[in-house]
A and B are shown apart, each in its own frame.
Chain A
Amino acid sequence: MLWAIALASVAAGARAHAFLDHASPAVGSTVHGSPPELRIWFTQELEPPFSRVKVEDGNGNAIAASEKAVDAADRTLLHIPLPPLPPGKYRVLWHVLSVDSHVTEGDYVFVVAP
């Protein structure tokens, strides 16, 4: 039975909760100059209609947002183009639905330096 469950767990590897794996700009990072795009890779494939991302400036104003941000070729990737960002602190807020219907959400900060 143990091996059956272990095999099933391997087969189910693409069906668990989607967590942020890594991002660009990276979580908590400082980048020099405005990045042209925000990219977030998740640990699982996402459901495009129910996955979205938003970027806010230090005052909480929305700088960029998209509800159609899942990459068509790589469904673990969420990305949106960014307008020119002046130096400052920015918060990324994401809300995604993985293919097994688990919802996860989170946020992180990055800093744009001159």
Chain B
Amino acid sequence: MRARSAPLLAAIAPFLVGDALAHGIVGKRFFPATLTIDDPFVADELSLPTYSYQKFGGSSDEPAMSQSSYAFDYTKRITPDLGIGFGGTFLQQRPEGAGTTSGWDNYALSLKYQLYQNAEREAIASVGVDWDIGHSGSSRVGAEPFSTVTPALFFGKGFGDLPDSATMLRPFALTGQLGVGIPSRTSTSSVNDEGETIVDRNPNTLVWGFALEYSIPYLQAYVQDMGWRAPFNRLIPIVEFNFTTALNRGQSGTTGTINPGILWAGQTVQLGIEALIPINSRSGKSTGVIAQLHFYLDDIFPNSIGKPLFGNP
């Protein structure tokens, strides 16, 4: 029997799972749904599909491969401040020198509560928990046989309260998340082709990230009309930073991607595309891409499936 570090797919798993990615309004500020990190809003919405493509360099235990993913994510408000979510990701993996393998990654459930909002400061904070359901996906694509529960804090802050001397910076906004991923098993065992028992250690992980965005709609509606009209008046340039840091069980290091891109936020739908730039060799071999079509169900169906089950929105 020999022990090894967490395999590559386990290290990057947080990026493969469809998170509950919400949009919302605080005061004058509209926050779009982000593509790779979760944000602080509870909302009725659907991401379908979220497509991504990445290449991974492999390790001593796994071959290099390319991977396409097709994810969906649905979130529903129970009350105006409490929501649940469900998501899944279908993976197609093409290891070097082998055929394509495909299957579902573990499904995920989430719960989130908005505990603070300040309209004047364009600020919001939330708490939530994500449950990556062990054994619900296909082991062929690396879906883990154990669950991971990730309690997390989320925040959002618009810069609309900057002084008059910095008005052109007011369209900036920042959202972020900070959570701890806790696996239900500290290690998992498997037998390789040589008959050896392989033990994978599953560390707790710090799941963290943030998104910095510059809202053209905010610029034109509240600061300075630049004369941009549809479709350019709804663009939101964004950079997302999405990281996971191993915390214990002999594991260390951070994996993740930096994702510059652009969002287009319409009245009822949102389109987004971002580059996935790996921060190190464990996070990917080359720049990938992620794209998403996102529906604001609370705006499409405001009087039926788009409103909270209880309470007025």
Contacts and interface: CB of A to CB of B under 8 A. Distances in A.
B302 A101 contact: yes
A15 B30 contact: no
B222 interface: yes
Given A5-B295, A16-B268, A19-B217, A27 B225 contact: yes
A108 B302 contact: no
B296 interface: yes
Q: Is the interface of B mostly helix, strand, loop or mixed?
A: mixed
Interface in A1-57: 2, 5-6, 8-10, 12-13, 15-17, 19-23, 26-29, 43-44
B299 interface: yes
Interface residues of A, number: 30
Contacts of A6: 269, 295
Query: How many B residues touch the partner, as a band?
Result: 20 to 34
A106 B295 contact: no
A100 interface: yes
A105 interface: yes
Which of A15, A26, A107 gathers most chain B CB within 10 Å? A15
A17 B267 contact: yes
Interface of B: 25, 27-28, 30, 46, 48, 167, 217, 220-225, 229, 233, 267-269, 295-297, 299-303
Q: What are the 8 closest A-B residue pairs judged by CB atoms, nearest first?
A: A28-B224, A16-B299, A16-B267, A9-B268, A20-B221, A26-B225, A27-B225, A12-B300
12 contacts: A5-B46, A5-B295, A9-B295, A9-B299, A12-B268, A15-B300, A16-B268, A17-B25, A19-B217, A20-B222, A43-B267, A100-B299
Interface of A: 2, 5-6, 8-10, 12-13, 15-17, 19-23, 26-29, 43-44, 100-102, 104-108
